[in-house]
Amino acid sequence: MTTASTPELEADRQALIGLINEEAVFHGDFTLSSGKKATYYVDMRKLTLDHRAAPAIGRLVLDLVKDLDGVVAVGGLTLGADPIANAVMHESVHAGTPLDAFVVRKEPKDHGRGRQIEGADVKGKRVVVVEDTSTTGQSALKAVEALRREGAEVVAVAVIVDRKTGAQAAIEAEGLQWLASIDLDDLGLAPQ
């Protein structure tokens, strides 16, 4: 089990755990983006786009990355990372430690400026990739690859929910720090 750095943030974390358990954990037969089968699905997009949860998500992810020196922006592979990066950006301004946000397209645009990364300029900058939840880490690593091609220094991957299914090992194998706010123990779920 993890905890947040202050009692106020821990209260946010506990409230978010409650919302996840009440509204974002679905039981049944599911196929995850990794192709793996699961008997439950944690649909964090339901909450990353919810006014009750988004501010707490921003504060909690900001808390995860606060001790990483020189980080100037957060973001990740569209679509899952977009509302998280936006929430972190807004909460960072409130906290007096502003961070910018970026979006990593799945493929570079074939028109206009042909960019794959939109938003903050990442070249030569220290950044963190964010995700709602991760099974194998492959979505985050796709974002990391694109960011590295653009000259960014990716220092960590921060997720809201750690599914405990190998993503951490994959991320750490790339020399990146793994940060998670909530894990399956917090949700009373077993790894699958």
Q: Is residue 114 part of a domain?
A: yes
Annotated binding residue at 131?
A: yes
- Alpha-carbon span 104 to 139, nearest angstrom: 10
Query: Is there a binding annotation on residue 3?
Result: no
Classify residue 192: in a domain, yes or no.
no
Q: Where are the beta strands (DSSP E) in the chain?
A: 25-31, 37-42, 71-77, 100-104, 117-119, 126-134, 153-162, 177-183
Distance CA 92, CA 89 (A): 5
105 among annotated binding-site residues:
yes
- 135 among the known binding-site residues? yes
Does 71 reside within a domain? yes
**Is the CA virtual torsion 63, 64, 65, 69 positive or negative?**
positive
The distance from CA 146 to its chain's CA centroid, rounded to whole angstroms, is 16
3-state SS class at 179: strand
Pair 118, 146: CB distance under 8 Å: no
pLDDT in tens, 60-95: 999 999 999 999 999 999 999 999 999 999 999 999
Q: What is the pLDDT of residue 114?
A: 62
Residue 77 lies in a domain: yes
- Asked whether residue 34 carries a pLDDT value surpassing 80, the answer given is no
Residue 1 resides in a domain = no
Check whether 136 is labelled as a binding-site residue.
yes
Q: By residue range, what is the domain housing residue 167?
A: 7-187
Average pLDDT over residues 122-143: 95
Q: Is the pLDDT score of 112 beyond 70?
A: no
Annotated binding residue 119: no
